Amino acid sequence: MKKSNEPVCKVLSVAPSAYRRHAALLHEPHQRCARAKRDEVLMPEIERVWQANMLGDMLKKLAKSPTLLYASASTVVHHATIFN
């Protein structure tokens, strides 16, 4: 009995051939293009930069809002007392 991927493709709005290609590349990573291989290598660095950027944005918002700063500080103190 052959499994059909058509129900999945309908829900995701993806062509069956594209779905099959994606599934095949997941099972055979050496077949992926150079760009995909490089992206996989760079992913930890991309995530690190993204996290640092998000932290910087959060700190800017906290600096602009004293109320938000107080709420965040009390949350940190609360969590520190729970985990220590």
Give pLDDT tens digits along the chain (84 positions).
456 777 888 888 888 888 889 889 989 989 999 999 998 899 999 898 888 888 877 777 767 766 655 655 555 544 445 544
Considering Cα of 24, then 30, then 33, then 38, what sign does the dihedral take? positive
- In contact, 62 and 68? CB cutoff 8 Å: yes
SS (H, E, C) 36-68: HHHHHHHHHHHHHHHHHHHHHHHHHHHHHCHHH
The residue type of 3 is: K
